[in-house]
Amino acid sequence: MSLQFRSLSSEDELHTAQVVADRSAGVHLDEGEFERCLAYGQPRRWMGAFDGDRMVGSTRNVPLRLTLPGGDRRDHLPELPAANAGWTGVLPSHRRRGILRAMQRWHVDDAREHGEFAFFGTPSQSSLYERFEHGPVVYAARVRIDTCRAAFRAASMPAATVECLERAEALDRLPPIFDRYRRTAPGEVTRSPAMWDMVFADDPGQRQGASGLFFAVCRGADSQGEGYVTYRLEHHPQLGRAANILQVKELIATTAESHAALWRFCLDMDLVAHVEAWTRVDDPLRWLLEDQRQVQTIAIVDRVWMRLLDPSRLLSSRGYLPGLRLSLRLVDRLIPDNSGSYLVDAESTPAIVTRGSRELCDIALTIGNLATLAMGAESASVLADAGRISEELPGGLARADAMFRSTPAPHCTTPI
Ligand SMILES: CC(C)(COP(=O)(O)OP(=O)(O)OC[C@H]1O[C@@H](n2cnc3c(N)ncnc32)[C@H](O)[C@@H]1OP(=O)(O)O)[C@@H](O)C(=O)NCCC(=O)NCCS
């Protein structure tokens, strides 16, 4: 029987789609987690693949706003509406028959219909989506710090104070802090109430042997707080000395001062031998310490991949250092309308992007590589060294490096 694809609408179908996604991912979510994942999928932008009347694959788009690199700005960065493509799954009985390929076409059509410039998510395998011209746009670093040797430089010692919160207070006080932070963080996204339910979830099944969640907020001049940390403790009692591990879940800071104070709070915790966290790849932590080698990077992973749908919109919306211009030749095999030459003129703000038919451009690249470059996740020169970008005009790569650089590096703490 041939496969059928269609958007889903009824509550029953959405429920079945979540079950299909779970089974495809090889999990049986407990009831609480199942309901939270289902709720995050609202409003109803789901697609199902059917064999007869049986659903055998499902996926969905969730609308949110993505913060873009700001060029010379560090606050109130530009943002655009985009779709979070997630919980994509095909039952083991129906794999390698083109269902994912059909889902990708649906993601493109659905996101464009809703006025979104891109869709993105955290793929289970980095080899899966390049064929559909996605590019990695956020990397994350896993760090481990030995607290015994993690003294701060005297000049870096923060003055801000940190206050411990109980869960009920944290539910109120953390979301506004996050919302201020995400406007300073390229790669970060808005959080719906359903996403906050997932972030705050603390069922025993999610703790992986560690404690329940702890919460602390950094008080700044404003009474709402300038940052927060949420963490768990892994208890490892040893003879004579406790060797607990503090697992940071989120460390969110709206100022350099609160960033330092929250790290200090974690590293000073009694009975803790190591702190572990996912951080942005250019986190300044190592520069705060006397001995920067104590910040060990255990892994760097490609966390978020993006399928860019409207390159002009990204190029004209993100920020740049003033006075830069760049031409680029773009190839998009799946959406041929996007192919062609573009001139990005950032001499004024916002940048002006025009399409043309230049014979030679500064650089030539595919749309997946443009997503990586324009979100500031990697430099043009590094991508060129890997044969992913070519330079057509002398100095083109250096101009692209200067044009697309993002400080801070893109980062996403939200479990999209
Ligand atoms: C990954 C998954 C969604 C693929 O679905 P599918 O319907 O079997 O994929 P398709 O048949 O449409 O294949 C599309 C292409 O992807 C390739 N592909 C599919 N699964 C792959 C995998 N696991 N690893 C590498 N390539 C894969 C296919 O070979 C095909 O390549 P081609 O275009 O060069 O021929 C499905 O296997 C699955 O649900 N896996 C478990 C859950 C999971 O990993 N979900 C992904 C969440 S991001």
What ligand 1 atom has the least distance to the C-alpha of 97? 11
Dump pLDDT digits (tens) for 134-145. 999 999 999 999
223: pLDDT confidence band, cut at 50, 70 and 90? low
Q: For the whole model, what pTM was predicted?
A: 0.96
Residue 92: CB within 6 Å of ligand 1? Answer: no
Greatest Cα pair distance in the chain? 73
Residue 187: CB within 6 Å of ligand 1? Answer: no
What ligand 1 atom has the least distance to the C-alpha of 129? 16
- Residue 238: per-residue pLDDT: 75
CB 370 within 8 A of CB 330: yes
Residue 307 is inside which H or E element, if any? strand 295-308
Residue 105: CB within 6 Å of ligand 1? Answer: no
Q: Which residue has the higher pLDDT, 242 or 375?
A: 375
Residue 93: CB within 6 Å of ligand 1? Answer: no
Cis peptide before 69 (omega within 30 of 0): no
Dump pLDDT digits (tens) for 343-395. 999 998 899 999 988 889 999 999 999 999 999 999 999 999 999 999 999 99
CA of 312 to the centre of ligand 1 (A): 30
Residue 99: CB within 6 Å of ligand 1? Answer: yes
- Does pLDDT of 221 surpass 80? no
CA of 129 to the centre of ligand 1 (A): 9
What is the mean predicted confidence (pLDDT) over 25-44?
93
68: pLDDT confidence band, cut at 50, 70 and 90? very high
Q: Which domains does the chain have, with CATH numbers?
A: 3-121 (3.40.630.30), 141-304 (3.40.630.30), 310-404 (3.30.1050.10)
Beta bridge mates, 152: 289
* Alpha carbon distance 232, 213 (integer Å): 5
1: pLDDT confidence band, cut at 50, 70 and 90? low
The tokens for 405 are 């650089």
CB 154 within 8 A of CB 209: no
224: pLDDT confidence band, cut at 50, 70 and 90? low
For ligand 1, atom 34: residue with the closest CA = 131
- Does pLDDT of 102 surpass 80? yes
The tokens for 278 are 């996912």
Dihedral Cα 300, 304, 305, 309, nearest 10 deg: -150
CA of 415 to the centre of ligand 1 (A): 22
127: pLDDT confidence band, cut at 50, 70 and 90? confident
For ligand 1, atom 32: residue with the closest CA = 131
Residue 114: CB within 6 Å of ligand 1? Answer: no
- Does pLDDT of 240 surpass 80? no
What is the mean predicted confidence (pLDDT) over 215-224?
81
- Does pLDDT of 222 surpass 70? no
- Residue 237: per-residue pLDDT: 78
DSSP 395: T
Q: Which residues does 321 contact at the CB level (< 8 Å), separation at least 6?
A: 71, 72, 346, 402, 403
- Residue 318: per-residue pLDDT: 97
What is the mean predicted confidence (pLDDT) over 273-277?
97
Dump pLDDT digits (tens) for 292-313. 999 999 999 999 999 999 999 9
The tokens for 160 are 């801000």
Reduce the DSSP state of residue 166 to 3 states and report it: coil
For ligand 1, atom 26: residue with the closest CA = 128
Could you report how far apart the first and last alpha carbons of the chain are, in Å?
A: 34
DSSP H helices in 57-164: 99-113
CA of 95 to the centre of ligand 1 (A): 7
Choose one of 96, 97, 119, 302 to mutate for the ligand 1 pocket test, by most ligand atoms within 8 angstroms of C-beta: 96
Where residue 87 falls (left for φ over 0; alpha for ψ -120 to 50; beta otherwise) is: left
Residue 247: CB within 6 Å of ligand 1? Answer: no
CA of 98 to the centre of ligand 1 (A): 8
* Alpha carbon distance 85, 384 (integer Å): 29
Mean pLDDT of the chain: 95
Residue 24: CB within 6 Å of ligand 1? Answer: yes
* Alpha carbon distance 242, 235 (integer Å): 8
